[in-house]
Amino acid sequence: MSYLHLSIALIFVILPIVLSKTLNLGLEKDTIIAVIRSIVQLLAVGYILKFVFDSENMIYILLMVTIMIFAATQNARKKGIAINGITWKVAVTLVVIEVLTQSILLGFNITPRTAQYIIPISGMVIGNSMVLAILFLNRFTAEIEAHQDETELILSLGGTPKQAIHTQLITSIKASMIPTIESQKTIGLVQLPGMMSGQIIAGANPIQAVQFQLLILFLLITTASVTSAMLGYLSYPSLFNQRMQLLRRK
C-alpha cells in the first residue's frame, strides 16, 4: 500500500467527524487527536521496529519490552490508585507474565528467538495483560466499596483479611477474565482476529496464519488468568493494616 492510498483512507476519519458535528456529539477534537496520535505513534514504532529488526541486538529488544511494560503500568495503575503500591504491583505482574510466556515460547523453540517474533508477541501479551489489569482493578475497587459491611462483618467475627475479602476478590478475578474467554468462544465465527487478518492480507498461508493466531489465543488465556489472580493476591493485603483492620478509603 502506498502513502497515497493510505491518505485516501482518511475518508474513514472524515466520516465520523462529520457525524459528530451533525449530531452534536462533541467528539470532533478527540477524534482528530486520536488519529494524529495513532499516525505519529505507529509510524514512529514502525521505524523503531525496522531499526531493531535490522540490528538484531538483544539490548534493543529488552529496551522495547521495558518501554512497553512501563507504558502499560502507567496506564493500568490509574484504576487502582486507592491501593497502596499499585504501581509496582502492576509492574511485577506484567514482568512475570512476559517472562513466563517468553520462557515457554523461546525455551521450547515454539517461536524463533528474533526481534521480529519477540516484540510483536510481547506487545500483544503486555497489552492484553494491561487491559486485564484495568478490568480487574476497576471491578475490585467497586466490589470493595459495595461490600464494605460484609468485609467488616467477617473481620468482626474473627476472620482473617483473606477470608474477609475472598468473595470480592474471586468475583473480580472471574469478571475480568470473562471477556477474554467469551471472545475466544466466537472467534472465527463472528470476526477474524486482527493478527490473522493482517498475515492473510500480507500474503501468508491462511493455515499458518491460523496456527499463529491459535498460539496467541493460548497465550492470552494464560495472560488473563495469571494477570487477574496475581494482581488480586498482590493487592488485597494493602487494604488492611497489621491489626487486620480495613483501611478507610479517602
Partner 1 sequence: MTTDYKPAVNFNHVNYSIEDAHILKNISESFLEGKITTLVGPSGAGKTTLLKLCNGLLSPDSGEIFIKGKNISSYDPVELRRLVGIALQSAPMINGSVLKNLALPLVLQGKQLAEDEARNLLHDVGLEAEFLHRPIKDLSGGQRQKVSIARTLVNHPQVLLLDEITSSLDRVSQQEIEELIGKINRKHGTTIIWITHNLQQARTVGHYTWVMMNGEVIETGKSELLHSPVNEKVRLFLKGEVE
Chain contacts with partner 1 (rule: CB under 8 A): 149-150, 152-160, 163, 167, 243-246, 248
Q: Which residues have a Cβ under 8 Å from the Cβ of 65 and sit 6 or more positions away?
A: 98, 118, 119, 122, 126
Residue placing its CB nearer to partner 1 in the complex, 185 or 248 = 248
Residue placing its CB nearer to partner 1 in the complex, 5 or 243 = 243
Residue placing its CB nearer to partner 1 in the complex, 80 or 161 = 161
Q: Minimum distance from CB of 173 to partner 1 (Å)?
A: 18
Residue placing its CB nearer to partner 1 in the complex, 205 or 245 = 245
Q: Minimum distance from CB of 160 to partner 1 (Å)?
A: 7
Q: Minimum distance from CB of 153 to partner 1 (Å)?
A: 4
| Cα four-point dihedral sign 74, 80, 82, 88 | negative
Q: Minimum distance from CB of 170 to partner 1 (Å)?
A: 13
Question: Hey, what's the cell of 46?
Answer: 514502525
Answer for the pair 176, 130: CB distance below 8 angstroms, yes or no. Answer: no
Q: Minimum distance from CB of 89 to partner 1 (Å)?
A: 24
Burial class (CB in 10 A: 0-12, 13-18, 19+), 168: buried
Residue placing its CB nearer to partner 1 in the complex, 124 or 246 = 246
Question: How far does Cα 213 stand from its chain's mean position?
Answer: 17
Question: How far does Cα 111 stand from its chain's mean position?
Answer: 21
Give the SS3 label for residue 82: coil
Q: Minimum distance from CB of 145 to partner 1 (Å)?
A: 14
Cα separation, 123 vs 198, in Å, equals: 15
Cα separation, 102 vs 111, in Å, equals: 9
